[in-house]
Amino acid sequence: MTHNSTDLGPIIALFEPDIPQNTAAIIRTCACLGAKLEIIEPCGFLLNDKRFKRVVMDYMEEKDIKFYKSSEDFFKSKKNQRIILMTTKASISYTKFRFNKNDTILFGRESAGVPENIHKIIKDRLKIPMKNNKRSLNIASSVAIILAESLKQIKLI
């Protein structure tokens, strides 16, 4: 099933991503599923990195990605909007949560997540339950899981 990319849907936000291949895979996922993507800089790589370009191929359209120079700029622009933080430190499973149209779903940096001050200011924090002794999923896989669930809940897929 396809959907119109002008429909209100979730926004995926990446906090200071540091692995080019993961960011490229997320760009492809967002492009294919019609989600907007926002990137909070600084990134740990350049957008002309050959590893990034090899994975992103022709899926990256600058008009579909919004860049923020800092987390302060990001949070200023999101005033009065719901931000959901995906984190292994959460106690609530994404399956027990009701997503809304226009939610911004924030994913932390692959190497370090998000700083504690960001954890403190975001009310809604969710996790993807995993088997015991497993640390985390790849961020690109996590984005795909959460994006699919949110699109399903708001009936865009």
Cβ(63)–Cβ(95) below 8 Å: no
Query: Nearest 5°: phi and psi at 128?
Result: -100, 115
Cβ(17)–Cβ(41) below 8 Å: no
The model's pTM is: 0.89
What would the CATH number be for the domain defined by 11-153? 3.40.1280.10
DSSP lists the bridge partners of residue 124 as 84
Report whether pLDDT(144) > 70: yes
pLDDT tens-place string over residues 15-54: 999 998 899 899 989 988 989 999 999 998 877 777 777 7
Distances (CA, A) of 52 to 18, 69, 117: 11, 20, 29
pLDDT tens-place string over residues 74-124: 999 999 999 999 999 999 999 999 999 999 999 999 999 999 999 999 999
**Domain segments of the chain: what residues?**
11-153
Distances (CA, A) of 87 to 3, 60, 78, 141: 28, 26, 19, 14
Report whether pLDDT(5) > 60: no
